[in-house]
Structures are given as structure tokens and as C-alpha cells.
């Protein structure tokens, strides 16, 4: 009888947890979803087809404070970015004030041209600006060296370059009020079996950059990778393990 009660309780608990996950997922269309982290932050997930990799899901972040929002990474295309931005505006009743890409790849700033058509200011690592220019891509409005502190209303957003990893220009974005670190593609989800695409990265610098991030943000609550499920500092530790297996 006791065993039956435990099994029933666990089944009930799992069903409640699953329901909560389902409730916190918002489907915008067949190619864009939002996952609610808390009242102010959502991971946006977009699906695009890449010839070398097939259909992949890419993460970005939406941070809301009052009637303003900040966007970190866009979907890969202007059209998907337009769908995301329109939904954010219509559903959350906020205006996107600023945009920051993690690095120069299309899964970070593929929708920059559309954001610029709306007059949204963009901030990026100066290396990102230089790489975008060399590849004839749309250029972020402002470049910074090492770090920059941005403001969304009364909330601070820290953007920092701690070294090359997945790409030469990848940064991390820290939102202290939410205890969220948007680490992008330098950090891999727990299910990852490899570092993925590192053709534009630096495999020698990669582990040292990760250690700098981990040492600085050991107390972070949420770490958002560029692809896959978000988690905590265990994602950085897992990625370090992957570096040793490359």
C-alpha cells in the first residue's frame, strides 16, 4: 500500500511538473517559441534549416522592464525576426529599446537589418562589428571594447568579452536583477556530445575563456546556451569537459 502511494505521488508530481513546463511554453508559430523564465525574461527559440546541419533550434533572450524590452540574439532571418518582434510588441505591449548579439553568426544577428529598419539601437563587441564589416553584413550601431553597461529603465545589463571560444568575438550578457547569464554558443546544453561548429572559433583559448566565465559567474541562477535547454553553472562545467574531448 505504501509503495502504491509513493508511485501515485510521484506520478502526480511528474504530471504537475510537465504541465507547468507546457504552460510556460508559448508557441508564436511553427518556427518560433518562447519559454518563460520569470515574469521579466523569456528564452526565444527559432527553427531554421541550415544545409550543413539540417533544421536547428537557436536560442535568444527577451528581457522586459516596464513598457520596454531588450532583445539578445535574433532568429536567423529578417522574416522570423519580424514575426518575433511583432508578437512581442502586440502581446507584451512593450517597445524593444535595444539589441545585443552574442557574436557575428546568423543565429545571433541574422535579423539585424529588420531591427535597424525599426530604428532599434544595437550594441556589439567591436570585434563583431569588424567581422560583420569584413563579411558585408549589416553593422551594429555601436561597438564596445571589453565591456559595456546598458540600461533598460532602472535595470542594468552588463555585456562583456572574456575571450575567444565558439567564435573570436563571443560575449556574455549578465542581467543581475534576474540572475540570468546569456552565454550563447560558447556554452553547450547538457545533452551536447561535442562543441559543435568551431570553424570560426579558437579551440586553444576556449577552455580558458570558459574558466573566466565560470569563476566570475559561479552564483548565477540561469545560464542560457545558444542552442538547447538552459540550466545552471553545470552547463559551463559540461562544456569544459567537451573541450578536453575535442
What domains are there in the chain, each with its CATH number?
27-244 (3.60.15.10)
Q: Which are the catalytic amino acids?
A: 103, 105, 107, 166, 185, 188, 197, 227
Write out pLDDT tens, residues 32-64. 999 999 999 999 999 988 777 678 899 999 999
Write out pLDDT tens, residues 180-223. 999 999 999 999 999 999 999 999 999 999 999 999 998 899 99
Residues 145, 124 contacting (CB under 8 angstroms): no
Residues 106, 79 contacting (CB under 8 angstroms): no
φ, ψ of residue 134 to 5 degrees: the values are -70, -20
**What gap in Å lies between CA 232 and CA 114, rounded to an integer?**
32
Write out pLDDT tens, residues 132-181. 999 999 999 999 999 999 999 999 999 999 999 999 999 999 999 999 99
Residue 246: per-residue pLDDT:
63
Of 179, 159, 154, 178, the C-alpha closest to 170 is: 159
Amino acid at each position: 500500500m505504501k509503495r502504491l502511494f509513493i508511485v501515485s505521488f510521484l506520478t502526480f508530481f511528474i504530471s504537475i511538473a510537465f504541465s507547468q513546463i507546457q504552460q510556460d511554453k508559448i508557441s508564436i508559430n511553427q518556427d518560433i517559441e518562447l519559454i518563460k523564465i520569470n515574469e521579466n525574461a523569456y528564452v526565444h527559440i527559432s527553427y531554421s534549416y541550415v544545409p550543413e546541419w539540417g533544421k536547428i533550434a537557436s536560442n535568444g533572450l527577451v528581457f522586459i522592464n516596464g513598457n520596454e524590452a531588450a532583445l539578445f540574439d535574433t532568429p536567423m532571418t529578417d522574416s522570423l525576426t519580424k514575426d518575433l518582434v511583432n508578437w512581442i510588441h502586440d502581446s507584451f505591449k512593450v517597445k524593444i529599446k535595444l539589441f545585443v548579439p552574442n557574436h557575428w553568426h546568423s543565429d545571433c544577428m541574422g535579423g539585424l537589418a529588420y531591427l535597424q529598419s525599426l530604428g532599434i539601437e544595437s550594441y556589439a563587441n567591436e570585434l563583431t562589428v569588424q567581422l560583420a564589416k569584413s563579411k558585408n553584413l549589416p553593422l551594429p550601431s555601436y561597438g564596445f571594447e571589453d565591456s559595456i553597461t546598458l540600461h533598460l529603465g532602472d535595470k542594468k545589463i552588463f555585456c562583456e568579452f572574456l575571450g575567444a571560444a565558439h567564435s573570436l568575438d563571443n560575449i556574455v550578457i549578465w542581467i543581475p536583477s534576474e540572475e540570468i547569464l546569456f552565454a550563447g554558443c560558447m556554452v553547450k546544453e547538457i545533452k551536447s556530445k561535442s562543441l559543435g561548429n568551431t570553424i570560426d572559433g579558437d579551440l586553444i583559448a576556449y577552455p580558458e575563456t570558459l574558466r573566466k566565465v565560470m569563476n566570475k559567474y559561479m552564483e548565477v541562477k540561469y545560464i542560457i546556451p545558444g542552442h538547447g535547454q538552459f540550466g545552471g553553472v553545470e552547463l559551463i562545467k559540461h562544456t569544459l569537459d567537451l573541450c578536453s574531448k575535442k
